[in-house]
Amino acid sequence: MKTIRPEDYRHILFFTGAGMSAESGVPTYRGAGGVWRSYRWEEYACQDAFDADPEKVLRFHELRRKSVLACQPHAGHEAVARLEGEHPQVTVVTQNIDGMHQRAGSRRVLELHGSLWRLRCPQHGIREDIGEAYRRYRCEDCGNWLRPDITWFGDMLDSFVMGQAAQAIRSCDLFVSIGTSGVVWPAAGFPQAARDGGARCIEINPEANEMSSLYHESIRGTAGEVLPGLFSS
Ligand code: APR
C-alpha cells in the first residue's frame, strides 16, 4: 500500500462512520450484527418514540452506553489522534456518537450526530453524563424528561456543528472517509462536497457502496489494518 506524506497537505480531514469503531467491538448500524437489524429505530431512535415512552428509549441508550464502555479505541483511532499531534491541521468529522476518537486523544472532533454521553433538557440545555447508567432521567431543575443529545431519524442536524463541518470540508485538501455506508444525509453528501472543493478523496472500507465511485482512491481494508500504516512519518 502506498503511504501518504502528511506534509503534502495543509488540512487533513477524517470523515468517520460506524465502521471506524467496528474493530473496537461497537456494532455498526446496517451490516451483519448492525443495531438496526436487532432494534427498530422507529421504537428507539426518533422523537416520536421518545415522546411515547421516554423510559424505554433511555434504557435502550443505556444499553448502548454500557456496550461502548466495554470497548476500547483501536490502533486506527490512535493513528488519527497521533497525526493531529504531528500535523498543523487535522479535523475529525464523525457520525459516531460513541466518543471513541476523543478517548484515543483526538481533540478537534465534530460530532455530527451528537453524543451518547450528553443529555438535554428542553428548558435547561445540555448536560454531560458519562457512565453506564444515566445519573437521572429527569431534569433536576424542572422535572422534564432528559433526552439523549443525539440526532435521531427525522431530526435536524445541529446547525452550529453542521456549519463548522461544512467549513472544514470546504477547506480540507485531503479527505479520508472511513467506515460509512453513505446512506444517511446530509453527511452522505460530504465526499462530493470535498471533491468539489478540490480535495483528494480517499475511502477506507472493506466493502464498496454507492458512494465509492466519488473517491479518487478506495482502500479495501479495515480501519484498524489500514490507518496505522497510511501516513509516512
Ligand atoms: N473498517 C472500516 N469500515 C468498516 C469496517 C471496518 N472494520 N467494518 C464495517 N465497515 C463499513 C461497512 O462496510 C459499512 O460501509 O462501515 C460501514 C458502516 O455503515 P453503517 O452501519 O450504515 O454506519 P454509518 O454509515 O456510520 O451510519 C450512518 O446512520 O442510523 C444512523 O445515525 C446513525 O450515524 C449513523 C448513520
CATH number for position 40: 3.30.1600.10
Other beta carbons within 10 angstroms of residue 72's beta carbon come to: 11
140 CA → ligand 1 middle, Å: 36
Please give the number of the atom of ligand 1 that sits closest to the Cα of 16.
26
* Nearest protein Cα to ligand 1, atom 14: 181
Q: Do 122 and 215 fall within a single domain?
A: no
Q: Do 135 and 226 fall within a single domain?
A: no
Q: Do 58 and 167 fall within a single domain?
A: no
Q: Do 66 and 78 fall within a single domain?
A: no
pTM of the predicted protein model? 0.96
Give the distance between the most distant pair of CA atoms in the chain. Answer: 57
Residue with cell 460530504: 190
Q: Work out how many domains the chain is built from and give that number.
A: 2
Q: Do 107 and 142 fall within a single domain?
A: no
Per-residue pLDDT of the chain (233 residues; tens, 9 = 90+): 789 999 999 999 999 999 999 999 999 999 889 999 999 999 999 999 999 999 999 999 999 999 999 999 999 999 999 999 999 999 999 999 999 999 999 999 999 999 999 999 999 999 999 999 999 999 999 999 999 999 999 999 999 999 999 999 999 999 999 999 999 999 999 999 999 999 999 999 999 999 999 999 999 999 999 999 999 97
Its domain, for residue 14, covers: 1-26+73-113+157-233
> In whole angstroms, what is the distance from residue 220 CA to residue 233 CA?
22
Q: Do 180 and 215 fall within a single domain?
A: yes
Length of the chain: 233
Instruction: Tell me the CB-side half-sphere exposure of residue 176, using CA atoms within 13 A.
Output: 23
Domain edge (last residue) among 150, 172, 203: 150
Please give the number of the atom of ligand 1 that sits closest to the Cα of 182.
25
14 CA → ligand 1 middle, Å: 14
- CB-defined site of ligand 1, < 6 Å: 17-19, 22-23, 28-31, 34, 95, 113, 178-181, 183-184, 204-207, 209, 222-223
Query: Which residue of the set 11, 74, 77, 113 is catalytic?
Result: 113
Domain edge (last residue) among 150, 169, 200: 150
Q: Do 177 and 231 fall within a single domain?
A: yes
What's phi and psi for 21, nearest 5 deg? Answer: -100, 0
Domain edge (last residue) among 103, 132, 150: 150
96 CA → ligand 1 middle, Å: 9
The DSSP 8-state label assigned to residue 175 in this structure reads E
Q: Do 185 and 80 fall within a single domain?
A: yes
Q: Do 83 and 59 fall within a single domain?
A: no
Instruction: Tell me the CB-side half-sphere exposure of residue 228, using CA atoms within 13 A.
Output: 8
Q: Is 77 a catalytic residue?
A: no
Q: Do 57 and 46 fall within a single domain?
A: yes
Other beta carbons within 10 angstroms of residue 148's beta carbon come to: 26
> In whole angstroms, what is the distance from residue 118 CA to residue 12 CA?
27
Q: Do 78 and 177 fall within a single domain?
A: yes
78 CA → ligand 1 middle, Å: 19
CATH number for position 106: 3.40.50.1220
